[in-house]
């Protein structure tokens, strides 16, 4: 057996694992259903903010304008050691709030390693609402956001994950925005499809809600105190892992949060490094899938050119199968979520996706990175 034949056999194996997984994700997307709950739960909206003077007022005013009854929700902003005017702006804007809006300061002495998680944990202790809902200071919520999220909290549901999209910006190159937009959507598609299949793989903290009782029962963020990167998905997995609580994905336009895309490739890269950090703590079967994906992405750029020297059809079949299932899955998800305009960026995003995943995976697992003016290092498992 030649070297290329050996590579092709390995590619066939990991390719089957990858395409099978993505096919199940697409099937899960077809199982998503609108929320039907009409019981008005109480909500605490938590926002961890560090140096967000450019964004926090816009975020808060979008929450003040919610259509949900004002006596059924409150807001807690946690100032995560900002050295700009974030806290000052929150105090000024809070005076105009139609709902309780409180500002607290994050406690740096907490044993929780992740600064954002430390801040959120502190606020959760102060909350007395049925449901905790988290978003980010650079996000904007539609008027019916809370009402829409609430509709998914039917009996037995402990977690609702929502969609976050990048808002177009006149100051950002449209091509660069489109690549970020579709790439970000692809992560949400995997999260939504897995929830449709009855399992949580990932959830984004910019639009995530959970029952306070479910949070307490699973140990909450303190159980993840040793992890120094994003733990949104890990918390969501803990809440639903014993089968007591179901999860739902909120996909309507009324439940979709918007945020700003980053301005440079370097920022986008550092953002992905932060996301990769928590995957080291995923269940073993998910780590196996991600390992197969990494191997496939590593071998395809080598095997495809190699076939022009020594012909072998297997790498081309794997590439075609991967692109077919990816495209069909993203097309279904963009149709469900009303984001079809993102598909015009599919080809350039697909081309850049492989090298970007390879580099960010290596960087996220083995190197430190800068985020919010801090140097972050992945914790030890």
Residue 348 lies in a domain: yes
User: Which structure tokens are listed for 380?
Assistant: 């030890």
Terminal-residue alpha carbon distance, the chain: 39
Q: Note whether 151 and 110 are same-domain residues.
A: yes
Question: Distance (Å, rounded) from C-alpha 77 to C-alpha 66?
Answer: 17
Where does residue 285 rank: exposed (0-12), middle (13-18), buried (19+ CB within 10 A)? exposed
* Count of beta carbons in the 10 Å neighbourhood of residue 309: 7
Q: Note whether 296 and 255 are same-domain residues.
A: no
Q: Note whether 135 and 173 are same-domain residues.
A: yes
CA 268 to chain centre: 14
Pick from 81, 52, 47, 123: nearest CA to 374: 81
Residue 290 lies in a domain: yes
User: Which structure tokens are listed for 41?
Assistant: 């739960």
Domains held by the chain: number: 2
Residue 381 lies in a domain: no
Q: Note whether 163 and 55 are same-domain residues.
A: yes
Q: Note whether 110 and 225 are same-domain residues.
A: yes
Question: Domain boundary at 213, 236, 266, which?
Answer: 266
Q: Note whether 19 and 45 are same-domain residues.
A: no
Pick from 253, 315, 371: nearest CA to 12: 315
Q: Note whether 225 and 246 are same-domain residues.
A: yes
Phi/psi of residue 326, each to 5°?
-65, -50
Q: State the chain's maximal CA–CA distance in angstroms.
A: 74
Segments forming the whole domain that contains residue 63: 41-266
Residue 33 lies in a domain: no
Pick from 263, 75, 242, 104: nearest CA to 180: 263
Question: Distance (Å, rounded) from C-alpha 28 to C-alpha 113?
Answer: 34
Q: Note whether 239 and 356 are same-domain residues.
A: no
User: Which structure tokens are listed for 47?
Assistant: 């926002």
Residue 255 lies in a domain: yes
What local confidence, expressed as pLDDT, does residue 380 receive? 38
Q: Note whether 108 and 202 are same-domain residues.
A: yes
pLDDT in tens, the chain (381 residues): 899 999 999 999 999 999 999 999 999 999 999 999 999 999 999 999 999 999 999 999 999 999 999 999 999 999 988 999 999 999 999 999 999 999 999 887 777 777 888 889 899 999 999 999 999 999 999 999 999 999 999 999 999 999 999 998 888 899 999 999 999 999 999 999 999 999 999 999 999 999 999 999 999 888 887 776 667 889 999 999 988 999 999 999 999 999 999 888 888 887 777 777 667 778 888 889 999 999 999 999 999 999 999 999 999 999 999 999 999 999 999 999 999 999 999 999 999 888 888 888 887 666 665 555 555 555 433
Q: Note whether 298 and 175 are same-domain residues.
A: no
CA 176 to chain centre: 19
Question: Distance (Å, rounded) from C-alpha 230 to C-alpha 119?
Answer: 13
Residue 274 lies in a domain: no
Question: Distance (Å, rounded) from C-alpha 275 to C-alpha 288?
Answer: 18
Q: Note whether 114 and 141 are same-domain residues.
A: yes
Residue 150 lies in a domain: yes
Q: Are 132 and 209 in contact (CB under 8 A)?
A: yes
Q: What is the pTM assigned to this prediction?
A: 0.91
What local confidence, expressed as pLDDT, does residue 292 receive? 93
What local confidence, expressed as pLDDT, does residue 381 receive? 35
Q: Are 56 and 86 in contact (CB under 8 A)?
A: yes
Residue 272 lies in a domain: no
Phi/psi of residue 170, each to 5°?
-65, -20
Q: Where do runs of H (alpha helix) occur along 307-345? A: 314-337
Q: Note whether 239 and 339 are same-domain residues.
A: no
CATH number at 92 reads 3.90.550.10
């Amino acid at each position: 057996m030649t070297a290329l034949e050996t590579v092709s056999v390995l590619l066939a194996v990991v390719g089957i694992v990858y395409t099978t997984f993505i096919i199940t994700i697409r099937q899960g997307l077809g199982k998503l259903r609108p929320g039907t709950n009409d019981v008005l739960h109480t909500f605490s909206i938590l926002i961890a903010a560090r140096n967000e003077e450019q964004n926090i007022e816009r975020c808060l005013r979008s929450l003040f304008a919610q259509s949900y009854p004002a006596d059924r929700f409150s807001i807690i902003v946690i100032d995560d050691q900002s050295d700009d005017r974030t806290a000052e702006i929150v105090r000024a804007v809070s005076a105009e709030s139609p709902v309780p809006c409180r500002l607290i300061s994050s406690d740096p002495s907490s044993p929780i390693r992740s600064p954002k998680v430390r801040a959120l944990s502190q606020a959760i202790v102060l909350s007395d609402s049925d449901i905790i809902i988290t978003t980010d200071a650079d996000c904007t919520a539609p008027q019916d956001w809370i009402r829409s999220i609430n509709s998914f909290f039917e009996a037995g549901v402990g977690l609702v994950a929502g969609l976050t999209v990048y808002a177009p910006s006149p100051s950002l190159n449209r091509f660069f925005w489109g690549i970020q937009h579709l790439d970000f959507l692809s992560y949400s598609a995997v999260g939504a499809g897995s929830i449709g299949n009855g399992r949580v793989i990932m959830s984004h903290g910019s639009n995530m809600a959970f029952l306070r009782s479910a949070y307490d029962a699973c140990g909450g963020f303190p159980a993840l105190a040793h992890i120094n990167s994003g733990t949104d998905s890990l918390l969501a997995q803990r809440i639903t892992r014993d089968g007591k609580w179901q999860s739902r994905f909120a996909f309507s336009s009324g439940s979709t949060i918007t945020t700003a895309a980053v301005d440079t490739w370097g920022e986008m890269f550092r953002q992905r490094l932060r996301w990769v950090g928590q995957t080291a703590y995923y269940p073993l079967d998910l780590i196996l899938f991600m390992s197969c994906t990494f191997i496939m992405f590593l071998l395809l750029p080598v095997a495809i050119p190699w076939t022009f020297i020594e012909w072998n059809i297997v790498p081309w079949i794997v590439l075609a199968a991967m692109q077919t299932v990816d495209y069909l899955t993203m097309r279904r998800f963009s149709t469900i979520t009303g984001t079809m305009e993102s598909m015009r960026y599919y080809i350039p995003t697909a081309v850049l996706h492989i090298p970007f995943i390879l580099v960010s995976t290596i960087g996220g697992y083995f190197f430190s990175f800068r985020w919010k003016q801090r140097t972050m290092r992945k914790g030890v498992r």
